[in-house]
Chain A
Amino acid sequence: MIMKTGRKLLRRLRGRAGESIAEVLVALLISALAMMLLAGMINSSWKVLDSSRAALADYNAQESVLTAQGSSDRTGTVTASLGGDAVKLNADTNVQIPVKYYVNDAVGGKPVVAYKAG
């Protein structure tokens, strides 16, 4: 069946017969669709790029704050364990070391978090 159709198509393509208005119209329709498809994809891609550029700018801005590690009201504690047992890192500190967190959540999903003792 496929072979038959293929042969028919080849014969049609090799033939010297002209094409009907309908065929030309279909061809024009297909071409128009192709152009619209391409334009749509370029447009979508441009929008995605635009939004990612904005997200990157926001991300970089928050990253600068995170790197500077100024003041922060987000606090917690860190506990070190050696061989499964909690341990003081030095004689002057507690087992639970107080820390401050710096968060970059510009991109969404899992945020970027840095911390330091204090």
Chain B
Amino acid sequence: MTIIGMVKTISMGSVRGFPAADPNRPEDTALLLNAVKTKSRSTRGASITFALLLFMVCAVLGAVVLTAGTASAGRVSGMAEADGRYYSVSSAAELLTQELTGRSVTITRVRTVATSTDTVCVDRKFVVNENGVDLEQWISDPPDVQTPVTGDPTYAITVREGDGTDLALPQASLPFLSAQAVQLMFGSSNLSTPAEQEAAMSCSLSAGFSHAEIPFTLTHATSASGVTAADLAIDGSVEMRGDGTLIFLLKDVDGGFWLRLTLTPSVEESTKSILVPTDSVTGPVTSAAGDTVTTTFTHTDTVTTTKTSTITWSVGELQKVVR
């Protein structure tokens, strides 16, 4: 029994073999003094046991304190690692946003078709009236109006970003943004045959062709101090929905941090048709008075249909993905 224990025991007024003491009563005070005397003479010791107990308590307490301190220090390096992942992926998302949003892609499809109608006149005769002015008369009256003939349509398909120059198809040679617009509009068609080009006239960006996830990566090249290019590489994918929504899934090389960048499209489409009539003449238009000639008058209606579709992407959502 340690001294502290003894004092505690006495103050509580309860010593083994003795009733609870009341300090106001003289007989109880005597009892307490007796208890102290008994304890002080006791030969029952447990110093080593208590020392070992104290050692154990101190060791446990120390371990707890040390563990807490070390964990706190480890938290800082863990935080740096997490921040590294976050900044690597969020910088990639920011770069994509900067390069892809707010830029418009315009796809123009022009279809031109001409319909010609020949009118054949024979027995053209020039006469001189009383005033000496040449007048022409058509002997074959009415003239022979033939069946209209429609020629093969011609097509022109162009892609343009913003106010830039027209970009050449096929799709594989286009920049990412234009290639996505062409994919959305025409799907896998390579637009090489008249049938494919005719079908392209009825395509729309509003109800386009989606594509599944395609691997999309960003790699760095640098010799800047403190920058390890391999640590910044982004390994992800991109997919496109039928309405033109682009979804980038971006993750760092370790796959510890994921972001989903959604670019939503804004589509404007218009159709314009222009009819241009032209007339031409085959055969002599003048002749001596009294001559009989054959002349063909051709009337051509050229219809040009222009379909213009413009798509512009902007940031819809940037979400952290938990995997």
Contacts and interface: CB of A to CB of B under 8 A. Distances in A.
B99 interface: yes
B91 A114 contact: yes
A87 interface: yes
Given A24-B47, A89-B176, A78 B218 contact: yes
A27 B2 CA distance: 12
Contact of B177 (A16, A35, A42, A91): A91
Contact of A117 (B83, B99, B177, B225): B99
B220 A76 contact: yes
Interface residues of A, number: 70
Contacts of B131: none
A33 B94 CA distance: 58
Contacts of A111: 80, 84, 226-227
Contacts of B52: 30
A75 B222 CA distance: 7
Given A30-B52, A74-B222, A107-B76, A91 B167 contact: yes
Nearest to A91: B161
B68 A103 contact: no
A79 B48 contact: no
Interface in B193-226: 214-226
Interface secondary structure of B, over-half rule: helix
Given A23-B48, A91-B167, A114-B87, A83 B95 contact: no
A113 B161 contact: no
A78 B220 contact: yes
A65 interface: no
B231 A117 contact: no
A38 B226 contact: no
Interface of B: 43-52, 54-59, 61-63, 65-66, 68-70, 72-73, 75-77, 79-81, 83-84, 87-88, 90-91, 94-96, 98-100, 103, 161-162, 164, 167, 175-179, 214-229, 231-232, 238
23 contacts: A18-B45, A23-B48, A30-B54, A31-B55, A34-B56, A37-B59, A41-B61, A41-B63, A41-B65, A48-B69, A52-B69, A76-B220, A76-B229, A82-B215, A90-B100, A91-B162, A91-B164, A101-B227, A105-B226, A107-B77, A113-B91, A113-B227, A117-B98
Interface of A: 13, 15-19, 23-24, 26-28, 30-31, 33-35, 37-38, 40-42, 44-46, 48-49, 51-52, 55-56, 59, 63, 66, 74-84, 87-93, 96-97, 99, 101, 103-117
